[in-house]
């Protein structure tokens, strides 16, 4: 099949109101397709779903150990956090340990999505800092690697040693030469690959415990960090965090902007990648939930799953007026 398929439906008043189409692939440890929906060869930007790949050089170079990074900091290196105090306090301390400040970031500033943190800034009359950026953990990792490499401050330049190391790791684990890059919301280059390539990369992570060597060790450490600190990877109440908790720390998942999600299943030795073509968050959350249930790693009756799939849609008065459900292809 070469086209996107119907993946998630929204029903209202007994009628189909909206359909979200996409592509998804499940790959085994040998790089073979186990399940596929749509076209595995579709080229996408993985966006923030690839942060654990971008963090590989941080560990493989020796920079993480030289800086004495803890497990929670490795989780933050893979994070798209909400800017809560439990995120930003850690990022600020990390910068301080590096002898750096907020001005050394190149990610830009935006309001935290955590309501308490955002309202606190407003009440105090303060503007957000770069450490509030949801990618500030990843950029702290970049700065740690850059200090280890003794690179210049422009660590987000595609030609910079930090980013060339990221590109090399990305092409290695996806098994594909990237056709190019786009500039992400945090200003770092984001390398394109196919949905299959992204799933292959996640399967490579999922089978790291079957291998030895620097790469495998780095992958295992990043998986362990993400599953140990799911609240740092996203935030309290967020789908990524709640689904990882629902699976008892046995599966690492990570969403990205514009409808992308990945999953790493070490016990099953499987990698998952999906792309919702209209970029809708509600659809990517529901689709990854459906796939995780189908793969037997998520209980369909767990509250985290029920909140995202076959979930009631309520209006401002609390009246149930519809539901979000998987399309036939994902059933």
**Cα–Cα distance, 79 to 246 (Å, whole number):** 18
What are the tens digits of pLDDT across the range 264-298?
A: 999 999 999 999 999 999 999 999 999 999 999 99
β-bridge mates for residue 27, sequence order = 33, 271
What are the tens digits of pLDDT across the range 120-166?
A: 999 999 999 999 999 999 999 999 999 999 999 999 999 999 999 99
What are the tens digits of pLDDT across the range 200-250?
A: 999 999 999 999 999 999 999 999 999 999 999 999 999 999 999 999 999
Contact indicator for 188, 48 with CB cutoff of 8 Å: no
Average pLDDT score over residue span 296-317: 95
* Residue ranges of domains in the chain, CATH in brackets: 5-330 (3.40.710)
| This model's pTM is above 0.75 | yes
For residue 188, pLDDT beyond 80 = yes
For residue 1, pLDDT beyond 80 = no
For residue 4, pLDDT beyond 80 = yes
Average pLDDT, the chain: 97
pLDDT at 331: 81
Three-class secondary structure assignment of 43-110: EECCHHHHHHHHCHHHHHCCHHHHCCCCHHHHHHHCCCCCCCHHHHHHHHHHHHHHCCCHHHCCCCCC
For residue 309, pLDDT beyond 90 = yes
What are the tens digits of pLDDT across the range 53-112?
A: 999 999 999 999 999 999 999 999 999 999 999 999 999 999 999 999 999 999 999 999
Burial class of residue 119, CB neighbours in 10 A (0-12, 13-18, 19+): exposed
pLDDT at 175: 97
For residue 317, pLDDT beyond 60 = yes
Contact indicator for 264, 235 with CB cutoff of 8 Å: no
**Cα–Cα distance, 53 to 189 (Å, whole number):** 13
For residue 41, pLDDT beyond 60 = yes
User: Smallest Cα–Cα separation from 83: which of 121, 130, 134?
Assistant: 134
């Amino acid at each position: 099949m070469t086209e996107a398929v119907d993946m998630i439906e929204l029903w209202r008043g007994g009628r189909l109101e909206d359909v979200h189409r996409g592509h998804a692939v499940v790959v085994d440890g040998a790089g073979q397709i186990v399940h596929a929906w749509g076209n595995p060869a579709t080229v996408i930007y993985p966006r923030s779903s690839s942060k654990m790949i971008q963090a590989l050089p941080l560990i493989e170079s020796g920079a993480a150990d030289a800086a004495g990074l803890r497990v929670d900091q490795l989780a933050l290196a893979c994070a798209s956090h909400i800017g809560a105090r439990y995120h930003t306090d850690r990022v600020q301390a990390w910068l301080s340990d590096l002898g750096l400040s907020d001005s050394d970031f190149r990610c830009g500033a935006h309001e935290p999505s955590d309501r308490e943190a955002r309202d606190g800034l407003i009440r105090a009359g303060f503007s957000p800092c770069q450490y509030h950026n949801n990618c500030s953990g990843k950029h702290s990792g970049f700065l740690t690697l850059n200090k280890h490499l003794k690179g210049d401050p422009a660590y987000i330049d595609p030609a910079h040693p930090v980013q060339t190391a990221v590109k090399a790791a990305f092409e290695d684990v996806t098994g594909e030469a990237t056709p190019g890059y786009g500039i992400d919301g945090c200003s770092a280059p984001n390398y394109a690959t196919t949905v299959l390539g992204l799933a292959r990369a996640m399967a490579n992570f999922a089978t790291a415990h079957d291998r030895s060597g620097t790469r495998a060790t780095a992958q295992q450490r990043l998986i362990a960090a993400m599953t140990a600190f799911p609240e740092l990877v996203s935030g309290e109440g967020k789908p990524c965090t709640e689904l990882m908790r629902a699976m008892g720390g046995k599966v690492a998942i990570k969403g990205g902007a514009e409808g992308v999600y990945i999953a790493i299943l070490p016990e099953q030795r499987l990698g998952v990648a999906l792309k919702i073509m209209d970029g809708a968050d509600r659809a990517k959350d529901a689709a990854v939930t459906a796939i995780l249930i189908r793969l037997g790693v998520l209980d369909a009756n767990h509250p985290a799953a029920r909140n995202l799939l076959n979930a009631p849609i309520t209006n401002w008065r609390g009246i149930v007026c519809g539901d979000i459900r998987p399309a036939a292809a994902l059933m």
